[in-house]
Amino acid sequence: MNLIEDIVLFNLGKSTSFNTLNWVGSLQYDQYIIGSSRRKNDIINIAKITSIANVLHSAQKRGRKLTLRELYYHNSWLFKSQSQVNRIVQNFSEILQIPRISFGLFPSPKGIIGGRIKLIYKNSDFLDVEELGVSGATITDIFDPNDSKYIIKTNVKYLLVIEKASIFQYLMEREIYNRIPCLIITGKGFPDISTRKLVSDIICKSGITALYLGDFDPHGINIYLTYVRGSSNFESQMAACPSIYYLGIHFEDTELIPSDTRIILSEKDRSTLKSLIEDPTIKECEILCRQCKLMYEHNYKCELEAFQSISSDYLVNIYLPSKILKRTWI
């Protein structure tokens, strides 16, 4: 094991270019190093860590940025899946207590923002998101989550955080921001770190009210929790947004929708709901906990698209204006 430690310390300490392909390929012939299949696995795991550190260090020296997917393809032969790369990078972030962006890594574009907002950067450049029209702006194209030196200019009152891209597009096409003074943002399901960080920055820098709109189902509530508290890793907790309110769909709202649009809960849904009911964050909010219990007791879920069975524009013309005017959020 001393030999392994020497290899790692030498390559990480000196930040030399290390040819892991030749090294790992030679292990099957070198019984002195291998000794056992367990030791071989240990060495291969160290090779994975070293190779990722090597690629990141090289990118930093050149001033380049990488996506996690690019990082995987630098040594795809060494990894069984993308998740192995993600796990190692997450460990780096937690051990060093710095976000992934500090390594020169950024996520593939995921989140989108639309509405009346202008971002003014430190070099005096600016981006007027409203000018981009109904397509909105891809968040990683306009926003560096490691750079707080920009100004947010907006005169809206609300930030609508939308669970699904389809509903985001529906609202943008109907120019919801001209009916309600709002910005719209979506993480297309579970949001990435850039989307959550931008949501957090908008709330902190502008002081506007943030409202989450998602399906009435366990998946939608879990996505809401991801915005509220982030996930378990260090970097994600930096982008937590505990001040987001839960606008809907609420159980009471589903009574407006024809019963034939309701979907029976699966066993997986019911199991997830049991966990949610016992979740500390949910238990702290009695009203939200009751929403989960009502979903479980009545054994159905409901999607936002179901409002279109009433009218194609019911969501944008009646449901959202009414909910916001009456301030019926949790």
Check residue 69 and give left, alpha or beta (phi > 0: left; psi -120 to 50: alpha): alpha
Q: How crowded is residue 47: how many other Cβ atoms within 10 Å of its Cβ? A: 21
Q: Which of 29, 72, 73, 319 is catalytic?
A: 73
Q: E strands along the chain, which residues?
A: 112-115, 118-121, 126-128, 137-138, 150-153, 158-162, 182-186, 209-213, 245-248, 263-264, 300-301
- Say which amino acid occupies 217: D
Burial of 178 (0-12, 13-18, 19+ CB in 10 A): exposed
Residue 252 to residues 36, 317, 328, Cα–Cα distance (Å): 62, 19, 11
DSSP code of residue 208: P
73 is catalytic: yes
Residue 23: CA atoms inside 13 Å, Cβ hemisphere, count? 19
Distance, in Å, from the CA atom of 308 to the CA atom of 305, rounded to the nearest integer, reads 6
CB-CB contact of 200 with 241 (8 Å) = yes
Residues whose CB is less than 8 angstroms from the CB of residue 167 and which lie 6 or more positions away in sequence, other chains included: 186, 213, 304, 305, 315
Task: Residue 106: name the closest of 143, 155, 135, 81 by CA.
Answer: 143
Question: Is the Cα torsion angle 314, 111, 203, 172 positive or negative in sign?
Answer: negative
Q: Where in the sequence numbering do the catalytic residues fall?
A: 73
